[in-house]
Structure 1
């Protein structure tokens, strides 16, 4: 059982718990985007096990009303073992998801995984359609990657940066420059991407900037946020925009919760307060 506070950020240890949580999101007009926690598998047996879990998850998500998605990590699907294994494993999941009308997002991991992740997303999106890939604004290469993806069937999720340390030679490493890079990436994306654009941020200023760009270019976009972070804001935004919530689950939850606490100290502290003093709300 996941303890209080931690269950603010993780839907449960089992797929059944995650699906039940996803059903409840519909009450707030939020779309679920489920992720089985885990990455960097180096054994083929672990890759096969998580791939089977994702295929079963897709079957369950296909029974829900409304839109649903999964978000997968390439190293979870075999990229650290062999790129061909990753391609084959991912294709099996995407094919099943296509049959069940479930969208598949590819997370972006360390900078060394960018090229095979982009190539797989583009190829599978051209074949199946409902596939998207994450682009990280902190990497210097990302504006060029956006140009490459924008001319394909792949959807695009824009984030400020990844969860991994970056050398200064390839990425912005301070917050001000990352914010500037993210603004440039948003501006370029709204010019180049006609459909399938997701803005993944909890930053109100960046969401406001995206909304202004959407008005300027007369286009739609989806807002994506993490489970447990600014839930009130997610519900408010869902009244006017498509909002998807990234919902992690699985027995590898401890590392995820610790990382969320480190990266979202203020939100985590308020979540603790709400657990001790029930009735509070995070804005």
Structure 2
């Protein structure tokens, strides 16, 4: 692990959230402690909406002691703008995704266009207003990730970055391994940070 340049992305349900909040938090604390020993950043994934409150509560408990940890927000969920504003206030680190879970229309946007529009709204918050005005979000603490393969959203992100005060080291694009490789090369030529996510499973316990 010490020879790998990368971060860890973990789903709370993998650490026991479907069993109990306490079990998941215990396992997440242990994983976070170990990751910090190796100098690795941890992303806490966001799953279906039934886990959203617990996932954010665990994240807020952990960032008081560990700064190299972030949480995922889904543009599909109607609540995400409010959650993002709160995370910004406490100096949280965020990865934006669209979300791929089937949800009730009272909880989530139903159409592809609505999900994309909310993604743009969340990007606008990150680049143009709240991070810049947040006293905690200086160049040493500010970090967020834009996780999408959507060319329109990527172009919008680059446009926001070029007209904002956000530093090149303060955000990154994240792609799944093997998808949009030609676009990755184009972004690299612009000296934009990229993280390629390589998914795998591990078996915990006996």
- TM-score, normalised relative to structure 1: 0.64
What per-residue deviation string (whole Å, max 9, x for no partner) do you get for residues 142-191 of structure 1? 1100011112243100112x221011111111111111111111101222
Q: CA RMSD in A?
A: 1.6
Partner residue of 2:47? Answer: 109
The residue correspondences of 1:58-77 to structure 2 (distance < 5 A) are 60=1, 62-64=2-4, 67-77=5-15
- Alpha-carbon distance in structure 2 between the residues aligned to 1:238 and 1:74: 32
1:178 and 2:126 correspond:
no
The residue correspondences of 1:19-30 to structure 2 (distance < 5 A) are none
The residue correspondences of 1:75-224 to structure 2 (distance < 5 A) are 75-160=13-98, 162-190=99-127, 191-193=129-131, 194=137, 195-220=142-167, 221-224=171-174
Partner residue of 2:178? Answer: 228
- Alpha-carbon distance in structure 1 between the residues aligned to 2:119 and 2:15: 28
- Alpha-carbon distance in structure 2 between the residues aligned to 1:251 and 1:125: 25
Equivalent pairs counted in the alignment come to: 189
Whether the 8 Å CA contact 1:122–1:153 is kept in 2: the answer is no
Q: Note the residue ranges of structure 2 that are not aligned, 5 or more in a row.
A: 132-136
Partner residue of 1:246? Answer: 197
- Alpha-carbon distance in structure 2 between the residues aligned to 1:158 and 1:86: 23
What per-residue deviation string (whole Å, max 9, x for no partner) do you get for residues 115-151 of structure 1? 1111111221221110000000111111100011112
- Alpha-carbon distance in structure 1 between the residues aligned to 2:82 and 2:52: 12
Q: Which runs of 4+ in 1 moved over 4 A?
A: none
Whether the 8 Å CA contact 1:130–1:154 is kept in 2: the answer is no
3-state DSSP class of the match of 2:17? coil
- Asked which structure has the greater RCO (Cα within 8 Å, sep 6+), the reply is 1
Whether the 8 Å CA contact 1:126–1:152 is kept in 2: the answer is no
Please state how far the C-alpha of 1:251 moved relative to its aligned partner: 8.0
- Alpha-carbon distance in structure 1 between the residues aligned to 2:202 and 2:13: 18
- TM-score, normalised relative to structure 2: 0.87
3-state DSSP class of the match of 1:79? coil
* Higher share of residues assigned helix: 1
Q: Note the residue ranges of structure 1 that are not aligned, 5 or more in a row.
A: 1-59, 253-283
Pair member with larger Rg: 1
Compared with structure 1, are the counterparts of its residues 170 and 124 closer, same or farther at alpha carbon in structure 2 (3 Å cutoff)? same
